[in-house]
Structure formats: structure tokens, C-alpha cells
Amino acid sequence: MTQPNWQEYEQHKEWERQEKQDHFRVAAGMMEFLGVVVGIVAILVLLALLFSLLNWLGQDFAGTFSILRTRFQ
């Protein structure tokens, strides 16, 4: 009588362990997905900042050279 109860107990514990493991796998998958999304957003923001910096730099060079051109004429 003790043996079937022990087997049921072991099966129940194994089922609980599998269920917890599945929950952790789902959570890990969601965190990985969110990490990829945040990484893509960060890359896009950094690209926008880079293009903004290059645009500002081009305008600054144009302004500086136009001032130098007018002083030497």
C-alpha cells in the first residue's frame, strides 16, 4: 500500500518540477525577446543621434568656411 502512494508522490513532484521548468523557459524566452526589442530600439536611437551629429557637423563646417571665405575676400 505504501509503494503506490510513494510512486504517486514522486510522479506529482516530477510533474511540479516540469511545470516550474516550463514557466522558467517561457519567462526566459520573453526576457530574450524583450532584450532584442530594447536592443533594436537602442540601435535606432543611436543611429538617429549619429545622423543628427553628422548633420550638425556638416552645417558647422559650412558656416565656418563661409565666415573664413568672407574674411579673405
**What is the tens place of the pLDDT at every residue in 9-33?**
899 999 999 999 999 999 999 999 9
Q: What is the CA radius of gyration of the chain?
A: 31
d(CA 16, CA 12): 6
Amino acid identity, residue 22?
A: D
Write down the residue that cell numbers 520573453 correspond to: 30
Average pLDDT, the chain: 91
Residue from 72, 33, 20, 21 nearest 64 by CA? 72
DSSP annotation of 13: H
Report the alpha-carbon distance of residue 68 to residue 56 in Å, rounded. Answer: 18
